[in-house]
A and B are shown apart, each in its own frame.
Chain A
Amino acid sequence: MKMITAIIKPFKLDDVREALNHVGITGMTVEEVKGYGRQKGHTELYRGAEYHVEFQPKIKLQVAVADDQTEGVIDAICGAANTEKIGDGKIFVTALEQSIRIRTGETGNDAL
């Protein structure tokens, strides 16, 4: 199993969710986060007081998948979240040791 963590632009969330549904992913966890990479922050100006805001609002999306789904999910996220502009985000893939569905006690791929 893999844990796929994607940082994406907030307005791309609906597109990404839809693309994931198409490749059979029916559950995910989403958080509103702030951060920056190559896309630096922006400037805000209030009555002559200028502030540089480094952190950009982003969405962090996490999906746990079976090993054979990994490539498809990555392609789906890349396809849907890409605007070809700086700041589109990143995808991190990590190994996932175990998963358990709390209600039934199912484990492994059955719990995904």
Chain B
Amino acid sequence: MMHCRQLVHRGAVLAWVGAIALLTPAVASAQEIDGADTAWILTSTALVLFMTIPGLSLFYAGLVRVKNVLSVLMQCFALTCLMSVVWFVAGYTIAFGSDGVEQGMWIGDFGNLFFAGISIDSVNGTIPASLFAMFQMTFAIITPALIVGGFAERMRFSAMLVFSTIWMLLVYAPVCHWVWGGGWLGEMGLQDFAGGTVVHITAAVAALVAAMIMGPRRGFGHVAMAPHNLTLTVAGAGMLWVGWFGFNGGSAVAADGSAAMAILVTHLSAACGALAWMAMEWIRHGKPSVLGIVTGMVAGLGTITPASGSVGPAAAVVIGFTAGVVCYYATNFLKNKLRVDDSLDVFPVHGVGGILGTLLVGVFCSTQLGVFSGNGFSDGIESIGGQLAVQATGVITTIVYTAVVSFIILKVVDLTIGLRVTEEEETQGLDLVLHDERGYDL
């Protein structure tokens, strides 16, 4: 029903329950709550929410120009509120369905509309069902918030709310079902521990499509659009790093060795990604930049995300360094060669990182790589080639599905509401035009 790690865990619980069942005639509830698991996922839930507010919000806010700082903070905050409600109404049930129902390949059953099946007593694996729904809600919050970076500084607030709501129901929730909710990619053996496909690729592809449909900000490429406050960005980056321990460590849905290893590899990859990007700038530009080192950290974190349940520490170092270098080149390529104004570089950092990490799982999950060995192939897969094929299938289908559906949603919203503010409003800045406020009065 959920992450591969939990399936294994749940299998053990079921076997245990099966043994008990031989002794006791009727076992109604097959699942028991584990206190340690519950405590850790409660903690992880808070950590992942902390990633969006204030982590990602500050990270993005510092990167925009001074006239748009509030608009970005507002987008992240409003999405946190709105996506919570959308998840409650229908997002959760589309992604995970309801307990005791055989899940289909494409979407979950509708038994959990309005969290209908979630009560104080209901259990999911070894934790309360309410906690599982809440933990997953924090993922459903940060994913559309990541997209904000693609259309920052020029999108209408109302259009953003409508787009994100439809996108949550038509893109995030179904893809989440495919991978974690019992759908076809999970069944096929795709290893995506914490959301390389579900979170990072979906958000980044949507951001790229939005940036291309809406066009660049006025003056992109010839007017300076330097970040207005990098101290906010660095503060937000630090919060993201810490919060990511809940994101990846919580994805074990248990307080066990898998959770601990996920945090270890996550941390190593973040550190190596940061060092790699810093080194790239130092070599190619002559100076190591603050924005560079924190961007490399995000690249390292995004890239290890799908792999954090599958690989060991030595592989995490390789993944982190690779992420820093590849995402560095991807950022330069998209901005300076393709001239796409993905304003806060969502695609080259999160998208390229998510793709890279999901593919590298296929290699580094192998148990035959000496110090670089991981936790093994999925059931029924015997080789790196076999696992890579499944990983590539997950990556490609997620990209294509997200791109097509995001494109359609954006076009519909553009024709009905209008995606973009007027030129004059954009010049004046979204803070004053859309919110009647200014970020600073110095």
Binding site for B on A (CB under 8 A): 44-49, 51-53
Contact = CB atoms under 8 A, between A and B. Distances in A.
Contact of A48 (B225, B226, B227, B335): B335
Contact of B227 (A46, A52, A53): A46
Contacts of A53: 224
A44 B226 contact: yes
B216 to A, nearest CB: 12
Q: Classify the interface of chain A: helix, strand, loop or mixed.
A: strand
Contacts of B292: 47
A49 B285 contact: no
Contacts of A47: 291-292, 295, 331, 335, 345
Nearest to B330: A48
A53 B336 CA distance: 19
A96 to B, nearest CB: 33
B422 interface: no
Nearest to A52: B224
A50 B343 CA distance: 14
Contacts of B336: 48-49
Interface in B337-391: 345
B332 interface: yes
Nearest to A51: B224
B289 interface: yes
Nearest to B344: A47
A72 B285 CA distance: 46
B332 A48 contact: yes
Most buried by B among A46, A48, A53: A48
Contacts of A52: 224
B121 to A, nearest CB: 50
A55 to B, nearest CB: 11
Interface residues of B, number: 17
Contacts of B227: 46
A44 B230 CA distance: 13
A44 B281 CA distance: 12
B331 A45 contact: no
A53 to B, nearest CB: 7
Interface string B266-295: 000000000000000100010101011001
Contacts of A46: 226-227, 289, 291
Contacts of A48: 328, 331-332, 335-336
A47 to B, nearest CB: 5
A51 B291 CA distance: 15
Nearest to B345: A47
Most buried by A among B224, B281, B331, B336: B224
A66 B331 CA distance: 60
A45 B280 CA distance: 13
Nearest to B230: A46
B332 A51 contact: no
A83 to B, nearest CB: 22
B153 to A, nearest CB: 14
A41 to B, nearest CB: 11
Contacts of A49: 225, 335-336
A48 B291 CA distance: 11
A85 B226 CA distance: 28
Nearest to A54: B224
Contacts of B332: 48
Contacts of B291: 46-47
12 contacts: A45-B281, A45-B289, A46-B291, A47-B291, A47-B331, A47-B335, A47-B345, A48-B332, A49-B225, A49-B335, A51-B224, A52-B224
A52 to B, nearest CB: 8
A56 to B, nearest CB: 15
A46 B332 CA distance: 10
A51 B225 CA distance: 8
B69 to A, nearest CB: 16
Interface string B224-264: 11110000000000000000000000000000000000000
Nearest to A45: B285
Given A45-B281, A45-B287, A48-B328, 18 more contacts: A44-B224, A44-B226, A45-B285, A45-B289, A46-B226, A46-B291, A47-B291, A47-B292, A47-B295, A47-B331, A48-B335, A48-B336, A49-B225, A49-B335, A49-B336, A51-B224, A51-B226, A53-B224
A8 B295 CA distance: 36
Contacts of A45: 281, 285, 287, 289
B102 to A, nearest CB: 47
Nearest to B225: A49
A4 B289 CA distance: 40
B292 to A, nearest CB: 7
Interface in B30-49: none
- Nearest 7 A-B pairs (CB), nearest first? A48-B332, A51-B224, A48-B335, A48-B331, A47-B331, A46-B291, A45-B285
Nearest to B327: A47
A53 B226 CA distance: 10
Contacts of B281: 45
Most buried by B among A44, A46, A51: A46
